[in-house]
Amino acid sequence: MTGGQESFLYFKKNIDMIVITGAAGFIGSALTSKLNSLGRHDLVLADDFGNEEKLKNLNKKKFLEQTHRDVFFDWLDKNHGEVETVFHIGARTDTAEFDMSVFERLNLSYSKKMWEACARYQIPLLYASSAATYGMGEHGYADSHDNVTQLKPLNPYGVSKNDFDKWVLSQKQVPPFWAGFKFFNVYGPNEYHKGRMASVIMHAYHQIEKTGKMKLFRSHHPDFSDGGQMRDFVYVKDVVNMLLFFAAHQRQPGLYNLGTGKARTFRDLTNATFAAMGRKPVIEFIDTPEDIRDKYQYYTQADMNKVRDYGYSRTFTSLEAGVDDYVKNYLMQSRYL
């Protein structure tokens, strides 16, 4: 089996528990929903559970129990023998946060403790890295272990993720299987709570609803037209499918890109949002703020060769199809996944 849904039904033993950290968040809750749809209710959800908006992501989800992230390792010490897999999705993801101590505590130190626990108890670990580790893309977007030490992330969030990847690659004590996923620009349902950090699709939807038009950053780069800046936008449903595929096929540990392998423009994204809303596109361009202009990425695109070589053969959702599903079936209905 290379990508069929049937391979997601069971990992090792269907009587064991699956742990999801960051479970009330965007990707964690989408993963919980997918596992529920496959009949997996033996889930242990870890998070801080202090955000009422985030908790809406867990409405109607089925799971065994919740544990606060601060006491999770106490829980794991007592229950590790029943844990099948850990999906460590929880992290501080605010790219505009510049207090490095926040990322040191929540992203780096916590993740190291998770790794050490999974190594000690021999539990497979799948964790969230980020495409933010690639910085301006000076060294390309290949998920090779050889270039990790050369990468230059643009913000403390990216630095924390890359620091953990580097630390992981230096470890001699390892879980029985591990994979770190460099998420590219993920969008989709259950990101209502993310505010300014939500995807451009969600911002576009609300801006179009309110004003009838969408504002995009003007290009300040001679090689890109206004609105021609490009990102690898990946639908959250594809993200969870790939996470579950790797959990079910524990072959080669390592770092893996998680994008579509096809960069698209912000103009494409905006036009797709207008189309899903049944409206004619009206786009205005504004200058990119000077304080972020020198760090603005004009192009990202995941190199997916390593993932395809691993055996993942599913076709990724096109931007137009993903935006259409997200807008019509979730945003327009204020619905959760």
Number of CB atoms found within 10 A of residue 2's CB: 12
Q: Is residue 275 part of a domain?
A: no
Q: Is residue 105 part of a domain?
A: yes
Give the mean pLDDT of the chain: 92
pLDDT digits 0-9 by tens, 252-304:
999 999 999 999 999 999 999 999 999 999 999 999 988 778 778 899 999 99
Q: Is residue 212 part of a domain?
A: no
Q: Is residue 224 part of a domain?
A: no
Q: Is residue 335 part of a domain?
A: no
Reported confidence tier of residue 93, pLDDT bands at 50, 70, 90: low
pLDDT digits 0-9 by tens, 191-217:
999 988 899 999 999 999 999 999 999
d(CA 304, CA 308): 6
**Residue reference for tokens 């106490």:** 74
- Beta strands 264-265 and 230-231, pairing class: antiparallel
Reported confidence tier of residue 98, pLDDT bands at 50, 70, 90: low
Q: Is residue 277 part of a domain?
A: no
Reported confidence tier of residue 92, pLDDT bands at 50, 70, 90: low
The per-residue pLDDT for 233 is 98
Catalytic residue among 56, 112, 194, 328: 194
Query: Is the distance from CB of 337 to CB of 330 less than 8 angstroms?
Result: yes
Residues contacting 127, CB < 8 A, separation 6+: 87, 88, 89, 111, 114, 115, 178, 179, 180, 181
Which of helix, strand or coil describes residue 262? coil
Phi, psi of 286 (to 5 degrees): -125, 155
Q: Is residue 239 part of a domain?
A: yes
Q: Is the pLDDT of residue 159 over 80?
A: yes
Average pLDDT over residues 146-168: 93
Note the pTM of the prediction, 2 decimals: 0.93
The per-residue pLDDT for 2 is 38
Catalytic residue among 134, 157, 256, 312: 157
d(CA 188, CA 26): 8
CATH number at residue 37: 3.40.50.720
194 catalytic? Reply is yes
157 catalytic? Reply is yes
Q: Locate 38 and state its tokens.
A: 């496959």
Residues contacting 93, CB < 8 A, separation 6+: 130, 157, 197
Q: Is residue 270 part of a domain?
A: no
Q: Locate 24 and state its tokens.
A: 């009330």
Q: Domain range holding 257?
A: 5-188+233-261+299-316
What is the tally of structural domains in the chain?
Answer: 1
pLDDT digits 0-9 by tens, 115-146:
999 999 999 999 999 999 999 999 999 999 99
Average pLDDT over residues 61-85: 96
Which of helix, strand or coil describes residue 216? strand
The per-residue pLDDT for 9 is 44
